[in-house]
């Protein structure tokens, strides 16, 4: 998780633009998912993002074609 509404945010979250305008799948109101590449410092053991260094939105087709990624909802 990168942050929660009204709660703590991961440093660097300002690198993430508004994703809801294009290449976005709404699943519950304004919540949903998109596809991106992110350069970040992570804690693999605890599965946490510690800091975001860069972020680039990608077409949904890129993530859908990547067999290493789980399908949304899995």
Is position 60 within any domain? yes
Q: Model confidence at 74, in pLDDT bands (50, 70, 90)? A: low
What pLDDT shows up at residue 7?
86
How much is the average pLDDT of 1-10? 84
What pLDDT shows up at residue 45?
96
pLDDT tens-place string over residues 17-73: 888 778 999 888 878 899 999 999 999 999 999 999 999 999 999 999 999 999 887
Contacts of 37 (CB under 8 A, 6+ apart): 55, 56, 58
What pLDDT shows up at residue 53?
98
Is position 44 within any domain? yes
Q: What is the domain count for the chain?
A: 1
Contacts of 48 (CB under 8 A, 6+ apart): 1, 42
Q: Which two tokens stand for residue 2?
A: 């990168």
* 30: containing domain: 13-65
SS3 percent helix, strand, coil of the chain, rounded to 5, is: 10, 40, 50
Is position 8 within any domain? no
Is position 4 within any domain? no
């Amino acid at each position: 998780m990168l942050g929660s509404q009204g709660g703590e945010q991961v440093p660097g979250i300002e690198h993430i633009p508004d994703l809801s305008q294009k290449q976005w799948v709404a699943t519950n109101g304004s919540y949903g998912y998109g596809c991106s590449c992110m350069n970040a410092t992570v804690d693999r053991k605890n599965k946490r993002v510690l800091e975001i260094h860069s972020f680039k939105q990608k077409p949904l087709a890129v993530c859908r074609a990547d067999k290493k990624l789980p399908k949304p909802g899995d």
